[in-house]
Chain A
Amino acid sequence: MTALKKAPAVTASFVLVCCILGAVAVGMTILFAICIGPTPLSPGKMISWVMGQEVPDPTERTILMEIRLPRVLLTGLVGALLSVCGAVLQALLMNPLAEPFVLGISSGAALGALSSMVLGAGLWSMGTSTAAFLGAVGTIVLVLALAGERGRVNMTRLLLTGVIVNAFFTSMIMLLVSLSRTEQLHSVLFWLYGDLSGARYDQIWLMGASCLGGLVLFFGHARALNLMGLGEQVAEQLGVQVRRSRTLLIGVTSLLTALAVSSTGLIGFVGLIVPHLMRMALGADHRVLIPTSALGGAIFLIIADALARTIVSPSEVPVGVITAALGAPFFILLLRAGGNT
C-alpha cells in the first residue's frame, strides 16, 4: 500500500483535512451503527425526526436514545481512547508491538473486576468498574515501581516488567475463573472479551471529557513524540525534556486505559492495529497520527460492535472476538501489500 500522504512534510492544513474527513467518516459510521439492530431504523427517518418533520414512534425513540445511541457513542470513545493510547505507547516504548494493555493494565483491571464479580461486590461494596479501575491503577503503580531505578525508568525494563506482571495476573485470573460458579461464568467471560452493552450517559460524559483532555495533551506533545520515537538521546539533543514528558505521558495513557477498560472490559487489538494502519497510510508524524488514530479507532470499534450485536442476533458476540477476527486478517493483508511500519 502506498502512502496516501504525498506531501514531503506534514502541514497544519494537511492535519486539518485529515481531521475533517475523519470526523465526517465517524459521523457516517455512527449513523450507520444506530440504524442497524434487531429493530431496523432508517437514516432517512432519523433525519426527518431531527428536522421535526415527523414525530418519532415512542418505542423506536426509546431504542434509539436509551439503547443504541449511548452504546454507539461509548463504543466510539473507547475505540478512540484505546487507539490513541496505543499510538502514544508505541512511540514512548519505541516498540511497534506496544499497545495499551502491554504494561499489564488489562490483566490488573481484569483481576479487579473478576474479584468483585466472583468474590462478591458486596464484600468491598463497590461495582465492577470501580474494582477494575482500582486494579488497573494499582497494576501501573506496581509495574512502574518494579521497573524504576532511582527515579528513572528504563523503557525496555518497563516493557519486560509489564509482560511478566501480565503473565502473573493472567494466572490469577484463571484461578478466579475456575473458582467462579457456572451462572457467573458467562458474564465473566464476556467481560474478559469486552462488554459494551451497559452503556450509560454518565459514563459517556466522563469518557468524552477524558478523551478530549487526553487528545489535547497528546497533540501538544506530538513533535516530542516524533523525536522520542527516534531515541532518548536524539530527543534530548533536539530540545525535548524526555524524562518529564515520558512520566507524564505514561501516567496519562495508563489512566485513560484504566478508565476505558473499567467501563467496558478488555477489548484487544484496537490499540495495536489502528495506529499502524494510520502510520502506513499517513506517515509517522504524531501531529497526524494522534487525531487520526482516535478517529480511526472510533470507526473501527463502532463497526466491530455493530457486527458483534448483529451477526448472531438476537444473541451477542463479545466485541473483542470481532476486533481480533476482523483486525488480524486485514492487518496481515496490508502488511503483505507493502506497508512500511
Chain B
Amino acid sequence: MRPVVEVQGVWFSYGREWILKGMDLEVVAGEILGVVGPNASGKTTLLGVMQGILEPQRGKVLLHGQEMRKLRRKEVARQIAVVPQDSGVIRGFTVLEVVLMGRNPFLGPFSFESAEDREIAMEALVSTGCGHLWSRSMDKLSGGERQRVLLARALAQRCPLLFLDEPTAHLDLRYQMEFLSLLVALHKERGLTIVWVSHDLNLASMVCQRILVLLDGRKRALGPPREIMTQEIIWEVFGVHAILDYHPQTGSPRVTPELPVHRGSGEEAPGVGKAPESPGRWRGSD
C-alpha cells in the first residue's frame, strides 16, 4: 500500500542555515509515528513541511501521492488536522466557537455551521473531556484546558491524519495520561494515522509503533521503540547517559537519564545514590 505522506529528499531553510538536510520519510496508513530529537533538531519544521505550510527549497512532499504544493489549503485541511504547539490566549471566542473552526475546511465562503457541524464539535469536546467547558470564554481557560480544546478542534476536522506538536507540554501528569489513552483509543476506533512530535521519549515509547529520531536536521534512526531506544543512540542524540528498562505494564522501553556527576568536586550531585529502597536499578537491553 502506498504511504499516506511521503517526504522525499527535503531540504528546508528559513533563510540562513539548513534546518532539514535531505529528509526522507514515509508515513504508513494507520500507524502512530513518534518524532523525537533534541531542541533545534528540526522536529517542528519537519511537521510544518509535512503539512505543506512550509515549502521546502529542495525535494518534495506527497499527500496520497499528490504533490503537496499543488493542493489547496482546504483540501489539505480535510486530510490533516493539526494540534499546534502552543497557541497562546485566544480572545473573544467561546470554546464551542473555537472547536467549530475545525469545520472550516468543509464550509463555503458565506455559510454557517450546520446542526451536524455542531454535533461533531460537541462530540469532539466530550471525547476530550471538555464537554462541560463548551459555553466558556476561551481566554478564561487554563493552559491544559486550552490544549484539550485545541485537540477537540483537530478532532472536529474528522481527518484521517492527525499531527501533534508537543501536545502534552502544558498538561499535568493526569491529563498527559488521559491524552495518551485518548490517542490510543482514537487510533484503534477510527484508524487514525498519527504523527506525534514529542520531547518525552517515554511517552513516545508507550504509544508509538515507530519512532523517528532526528539529529541536526537528519534522520538518525527510525524504527520500533525497542530498536531505536538504545544507550548509544540516546547518548549520541541527547548527550545523556541513560538507564534503560521496560515499562512494567506496557513492556515498552523506558529511559531514565543519569544525572551527570560533577567529578573532581568530591561530592556526588544531590539525589544521586539516595534511593536505596528502590527495587533496584537494572540495566536494560545492553
Residues of A within 8 A of B (CB): 8-12, 15, 219-221, 223, 226-227, 230-231, 233-234, 236-242, 279, 283-285, 287, 340-341
Q: A9-B97, A9-B118, A239-B104 are in contact. List 5 more A-B contacts (CB 8 A).
A: A8-B94, A223-B107, A227-B104, A240-B104, A284-B93
Q: A220-B109, A233-B84, A340-B139 in contact; A238/B101 too (CB < 8 A)?
A: yes
Q: Is the interface of B mostly helix, strand, loop or mixed?
A: mixed
Chain B residues within an 8 Å CB radius of A9: 94, 96-97, 100, 113, 118
- The CA-CA distance from A46 to B157 in the complex, in Å, is 55
- The CA-CA distance from A239 to B71 in the complex, in Å, is 11
Chain B residues within an 8 Å CB radius of A11: 112
B174 within 8 A of A: no
Chain B interface residue count, Cβ-Cβ cutoff 8 angstroms = 38
- Whether the pair A233, B53 counts as a contact (CB closer than 8 A) is yes
Chain B residues within an 8 Å CB radius of A285: 92-93, 97
- Whether the pair B109, A237 counts as a contact (CB closer than 8 A) is no
The proximity string for B residues 69-110 relative to A, scoring 1 for CB distances below 8 Å and 0 otherwise, is 000111011101110100100111111110011101101011
Residues of B within 8 A of A (CB): 48, 51, 53, 72-74, 76-78, 80-82, 84, 87, 90-97, 100-102, 104-105, 107, 109-110, 112-113, 118, 134-135, 137, 139, 157
- Whether the pair B73, A283 counts as a contact (CB closer than 8 A) is no
What are 19 A-B residue pairs whose CB atoms fall within 8 Å in the complex?
Answer: A8-B94, A9-B96, A9-B97, A10-B97, A12-B112, A219-B110, A220-B110, A234-B87, A236-B51, A237-B81, A239-B74, A240-B73, A240-B104, A241-B72, A241-B74, A283-B97, A284-B93, A287-B112, A341-B92
10 nearest A-B pairs in the assembled complex, by CB-CB distance: A284-B92, A239-B77, A239-B105, A8-B135, A239-B74, A220-B109, A12-B112, A237-B82, A9-B96, A8-B96
User: In the complex, how many angstroms separate the beta carbon of B59 from the nearest chain A beta carbon?
Assistant: 20
User: In the complex, how many angstroms separate the beta carbon of A223 from the nearest chain B beta carbon?
Assistant: 6
Chain B residues within an 8 Å CB radius of A287: 112
- The CA-CA distance from A10 to B125 in the complex, in Å, is 17
Chain B residues within an 8 Å CB radius of A237: 51, 53, 77, 80-82, 84
Q: Could you say which of B48, B73, B96, B135 contacts A239, with CB atoms under 8 Å apart?
A: B73
Chain A residues within an 8 Å CB radius of B95: 8
Q: Could you say which of A219, A238, A239, A283 contacts B93, with CB atoms under 8 Å apart?
A: A283
Q: A230-B90, A239-B104, A240-B104 in contact; A8/B112 too (CB < 8 A)?
A: no
Chain A residues within an 8 Å CB radius of B135: 8
- The CA-CA distance from A220 to B110 in the complex, in Å, is 5
Chain B residues within an 8 Å CB radius of A10: 97, 112
